Structure 1
Amino acid sequence: MKALQIGIAGAGPAGLATALFLARSGHQVEILERYDQPAPVGSGLLMQPTGLTVLHALGLFDKVRGLGSRIDRLHGADALSGRTVLDVRYDAAPGGRYGLAVQRAALFNTLHDAVRAAGIPIRTGISLARAAPQGTRAVLISDTGEAVGAYDLVVDASGARSSLIGGSAVAPKVRDLAYGAFWATLDGGDAVYDRGALSQRYDRAKVMIGVLPAGRVTADTPERVAFFWSLKVADAEAVKAAGLERWKAVIRSYWPDCAPFLDQIRDWDQLTLARYAHRTARPPFSGAIAFIGDSAHSTSPQLGQGANMALHDAAALSHALSAAPDLASALRAYGLARRNHVVLFQLLSLAFTPFYQSDSHAIAWIRDRLVSTVAKVPPVQRLLASIVAGTLIDPFAATGLRETDWLGGVLSPRPPV
């Protein structure tokens, strides 16, 4: 295929990674960002072996690893009894896999620096409203009605609230999820927490509190922690109206070790309310537009796959464009490459979410008694480890990647097309 003119909507991790892959393949790429200055959004995130393998393919693994916190297990306990109800360890499955918790700013800065170093232009202050067909090309239209660029291919990496997919022929139905979460990034200091785990406390399924070690933004900054508290989005204003100190007192009653984190929160503005929705575009392309990341698919964060899925979308799209004879064939190949993996983990996220965020006492009882017992059986431990790692089915071959050799420390190169 000839080199294409490609416009990428959105300068988040998905858009930045896609720009790097495509520019290195010889395409003429530019990024369009709605903010005047590209910046990360959100607190910490958990990079899985899937996403880390993509970062290696981009040559950025070592830098991100140096900033993140290695995570070896996910551990959850009943806040009242202290009984363990979730204990998923990466080493329950062979291969030496692990997770890496990073601050979103660290991931963003690493990708953004690589984009700038590659000379890929980023046009800022452009809020996109829609894409209009122009023969075989697509013209991006701003919210002021101005045509801001015509491209052989548009890659929509503008997130779950994307206006581009909202106006497309494959616009998915959006199911807003009742539960969201307050998030904050805080100093770890001398607080007592497991530095190798995502730790959670539950009161049935109505309360979930979490602490995730999130590493550093730069090598010379202190380690920080992503702290979150799950709640119904509809209840957020009532919680705020009741007062910050009352909210803190409730959390302390569940998990006293959180006190050093709570002491750092002096204003509601330090907390971000995250909202979640379930949506899947099928297929993840329309005309000369490809949808990746949260634009194409989003769900609850229970399995921690969001950023990892987005990075795999970027690799899959680049691989399809490199291997196919024309754009239409490449987009079909991209959709097929990601279909099974995306559908599987969308379904798994939907299935797991009620066990940790719902009003059902019965589901929480089943989780705490039956599921936690079954999860101790070795075959189930291995299954859960593969689900968390994102490798329950192989996501690598279809995207032109080989998984990193975690045990040997040898990072396998991306195979030739």
Structure 2
Amino acid sequence: MRGLNIAIAGCGPCGLAAALLLHEAGHNVTLFERFEKPQPIGSGLMIQPTGMAVLAKLGLLDAVLVRGARIDKLFGMAGKRVVLDVEYASLGRRDAFGIGIHRASLFAVLHEAVLRSGIPLHCGRTLVGTTLLGTKRALRFADGQKNDRYDLVVDALGTRTPLAPPAGRELAYGALWASLDWPGGAGFDPHALAQRYDRASIMAGVLPIGTPPGATVPKAAFFWSLRADRLDDWREAGLPAWKARVAALWPDCAALLDQITDPSQLTFARYAHRTLASPAEPALVHIGDAWHSASPQLGQGANMALLDAWALARGLDHARSVDEGVRQGIRLRRRHVLTYQWLTALFTPVYQSDSRLLPLIRDRIVGPLSKLWPATAIQASMVSGLVGNPLRPLGLEGERQMARPGVEAA
């Protein structure tokens, strides 16, 4: 199908990618964003081989590589024990790496491409719902206005979307995030996500994220796990007490902690786990976090959203009706989505919970065994998003994902 009038709600990576893919497929796309000026929210994330496959199809992978940092391994310690040691090389693939990147950098690459494409973008429009009118949908806005009828509305508004029924639950734990100057000489590997744990109630991490827009030096995303109901206690205790706690767990973080002089430099992100039983309604589809969201333990959020956008465009391509195309797109993604929702629900308590038994098993049994084959390859497959071979049914397997000669991640 071509020539559909499609409204996309949300200008995050999911909505922007969907707009580009559907525009390239010959549809008339309009983007709606609640902010007066589109802007990213959050700090760092990981682009995995799955997300890279979609970015390559969009012709944007090289730009993402230049702005991000190549990640070759994930490494975590609990005390003196190595409990996480995952190398992408275990996959035996030429595209076996991740990209650490600031959300602002990924947003900039996608947003600039949308502007170049001439896709209409309406800002300052807060959506509160949609109305089905025959086989089409109209958008309802907070100011009481309604918009034209669309053949399809794509909901990319995230976990707390007003366009979908409530689902799932908020998780007890979230994390404090900050984007800081890369601590050169502090002993951190510029090509690794490093983490430290104390049981499952404390987790700290440092992720290289390249050089974001407006920055002049490479940055690191620093995060500290925290229960949501302890956030007020953290604020009352003050920065010095918290810094002392971080330094005791991970002395190498001193160069990062010195850059934090005000609590406002740290943003608290609350995580949720939700999966809509049916992400499709007549002339309406929910993709990305609006369909499925989870804690970032396996780092799949942005990558799953990119795959959802690709699957939707592919599903509509040969369908005889809008709803048939939407259903096909969902079928292409459902198995992979459910697999990772289950895996994330399984592993989140191992790294973020008040359990004493789970981290003990992690540190004393699972950690040592994970260094042996085939556990090394299994872990790499999970982290990379390649469990279940999601690229093959999407026609993305074998897509050239490496940078052009001379293009390297920062």
Letter in 1 for 2:282: G
User: Aligned pair 1:254/2:249, yes or no?
Assistant: yes
Residues 8-34 of structure 1, C-alpha deviation per residue, up to 9 Å, x if partnerless?
000111000000001111110010000
Letter in 1 for 2:138: V
Identity fraction in percent: 47
Letter in 1 for 2:75: H
Report the CA distance shift for 1:149/1:272 in structure 2 as closer, same or farther (over 3 A): farther
Tell me, in whole angstroms, the C-alpha distance in 1 between the residues paired with 2:263 and 2:255: 17
Contact kept? 1:95, 1:406, Cα under 8 Å: no
Letter in 2 for 1:138: R
Gaps of 5+ in 1: 411-417
Match 2:378 to one of 378, 383, 388: 383
Contact kept? 2:175, 2:225, Cα under 8 Å: yes
Contact kept? 2:136, 2:150, Cα under 8 Å: yes
1:105 to partner: Cα distance: 0.7
Tell me, in whole angstroms, the C-alpha distance in 2 between the residues paired with 1:398 and 1:149: 34
State the match for 1:10 in structure 2.
10
Alignment of 1:321-400 (within 5 A): 321-400=316-395
State the match for 2:41 in structure 1.
41
- TM-score, length-scaled by structure 1: 0.94
Match 2:285 to one of 285, 290, 313: 290
User: Aligned pair 1:69/2:69, yes or no?
Assistant: yes
Tell me, in whole angstroms, the C-alpha distance in 2 between the residues paired with 1:174 and 1:85: 30
1:324 to partner: Cα distance: 1.2
Tell me, in whole angstroms, the C-alpha distance in 2 between the residues paired with 1:279 and 1:376: 32
State the match for 1:122 in structure 2.
121
State the match for 1:176 in structure 2.
170
1:145 to partner: Cα distance: 2.2
Tell me, in whole angstroms, the C-alpha distance in 1 between the residues paired with 2:399 and 2:214: 24
The root-mean-square deviation of aligned C-alpha atoms, in Å, is 1.5
Tell me, in whole angstroms, the C-alpha distance in 2 between the residues paired with 1:328 and 1:109: 32
User: Aligned pair 1:156/2:150, yes or no?
Assistant: no
Alignment of 1:288-327 (within 5 A): 288-327=283-322
Tell me, in whole angstroms, the C-alpha distance in 2 between the residues paired with 1:115 and 1:323: 24
Q: How many residues align?
A: 403
Tell me, in whole angstroms, the C-alpha distance in 2 between the residues paired with 1:189 and 1:14: 31
Letter in 2 for 1:93: L
Contact kept? 1:69, 1:214, Cα under 8 Å: yes
Residues 278-324 of structure 1, C-alpha deviation per residue, up to 9 Å, x if partnerless?
11112221111111111010001000000000000000000011121
Q: Equivalent residue of 2:35, what SS?
A: coil
Report the CA distance shift for 1:408/1:189 in structure 2 as closer, same or farther (over 3 A): closer
Gaps of 5+ in 2: 406-410
1:409 to partner: Cα distance: 6.8
- TM-score, length-scaled by structure 2: 0.96
Q: Equivalent residue of 1:177, what SS?
A: strand
Residues 93-122 of structure 1, C-alpha deviation per residue, up to 9 Å, x if partnerless?
211311010111110000000000000011
Contact kept? 2:197, 2:203, Cα under 8 Å: yes
User: Aligned pair 1:402/2:401, yes or no?
Assistant: no
Tell me, in whole angstroms, the C-alpha distance in 2 between the residues paired with 1:398 and 1:27: 23
Residues 253-296 of structure 1, C-alpha deviation per residue, up to 9 Å, x if partnerless?
11111011111111111111001111111222111111111101
Alignment of 1:183-194 (within 5 A): 183-190=177-184, 191-194=186-189
Tell me, in whole angstroms, the C-alpha distance in 2 between the residues paired with 1:403 and 1:294: 27
Contact kept? 2:46, 2:99, Cα under 8 Å: yes
Letter in 1 for 2:182: G
Alignment of 1:80-99 (within 5 A): 81-96=79-94, 97-99=96-98
State the match for 1:415 in structure 2.
none
1:325 to partner: Cα distance: 1.5
1:406 to partner: Cα distance: 5.6
